[in-house]
Amino acid sequence: MMQIGEDDWAETAPDAHEHPGFGVDVPKGTRGDLTPDAPLAKLVWFKSGGAADWLFEPADTEDLIHFLSGLEPGTPVMALGLGSNLIVRDGGIPGVVVRLGKPFSSVEVLRDNMLECGGGAPGILVASKARDAGIAGLEFLRGIPGTVGGFVRMNGGAYGREVADILVDCDVVISDGNLVTLPVEDLDYTYRHSRLTDDAIVVAARFRGAKGDPEVIGAEMDRIADERENSQPLRTKTGGSTFKNPEGAKAWKLVDEAGCRGLAKGGARVSEKHANFLINTGEATSADIEGLGEEIRRRVAERTGYNLEWEIRRVGRP
């Protein structure tokens, strides 16, 4: 790990023949941590995949803007949250992976039943803060295994609700270092999709709920937690729901109908507990996991006529 000081100019770009990825010139005054060839397997739920050319953990939003504005144009940038809903391919990720840590995990209660949340705040924290403040309508975030940045980007949802129902606006830093505030209307939300590109980093968001009873809100959160525990393989190396639900159908039922429950490839397996979850049984490569997913898609299309779309993001070099 490299700590960049206020008075340093650290030109970290190695010779192109020594490093397969992108070099990075770090602007003077960058305060965050920068790590070259950073292993990512330990940071993602599947516990598989290669390294990032560079992993940057900014000290705050200003530090992120400063760092990105000094990158060579065209350098790939990708945000990383809790590492759920993600396959990092075995060849690693080119360019810079930005991980929003503790400085981005705050949740503040505002007036009019609103919350202001950092892009790195996990869904369970947002839901808990809303409960304590008597703000209803955000309970479903208890069931989303990710951070604000991730579920704002993909219009995350669960238990009949989605982010489009509660988002007011969000602050986004794009890869050239510009900071913009986008109202929910500008995100063009559809099912598990927004107009935000991979290099757009959500650093904060405002959500609005409705006045509610903390005990009732808490009971609903407990119900969601119990349902997830009973129906999903939460205590395994998994990435969450693998495929989007096609219109008029449930992905897990289609996987079941195609005879894929328990199907395995290398160290990857379809969960016996929930057929829309893939699990790493121990030593699976990301190629095993992605290959299993593609085999499921092939069998489902052949036997049911549905073409399943990935809900899990797959990123990086094969």
Segment 285-304 mean pLDDT: 98
- In the numeric block, the tokens 């947002």 are attached to 126
* Statement: residue 8 has pLDDT above 90: no
**Of 10 and 161, the one with more pLDDT:** 161
Q: How far apart are CA 250 and CA 281, in angstroms?
A: 25
Query: What percentage of the chain exceeds 70 in pLDDT?
Result: 93
pLDDT for 6? 31
DSSP state of 124: H
What is the C-alpha to C-alpha distance for residues 191 and 240, in angstroms, rounded to an integer? 16
Q: Is the pLDDT of residue 265 over 60?
A: yes
How many CB atoms are closer than 10 A to CB 112? 9
Average pLDDT estimate for 263-284: 97
Sorting pLDDT into bands at 50, 70 and 90, what band is 279? very high
pLDDT band at 22 (very low <50, low <70, confident <90, very high): confident
Tokens of 137: 């309508």
pLDDT in tens, 49-70: 999 999 999 999 999 999 999 9
pLDDT for the residue numbered 21? 65
- Cα gap 120→232, rounded to integer Å: 24
Indicate if the pLDDT at residue 7 is higher than 50: no
Q: For residue 181, give the 3-state DSSP assignment.
A: strand
CA-based nearest residue to 81, from 174, 145, 125, 16: 145
pLDDT tens, position by position, 169-226: 999 999 889 999 999 999 999 999 999 988 899 999 999 999 999 999 999 999 999 9
Are 43 and 58 a contacting pair, CB within 8 Å?
no
Instruction: Pull the structure tokens for residue 156.
Output: 């995350």
More confidently predicted of 14 and 113? 113
Which residues form the catalytic set? 192, 241, 311
pLDDT of the residue at 23: 74
273 contact partners, CB below 8 Å, separation of at least 6 = 231, 232, 233
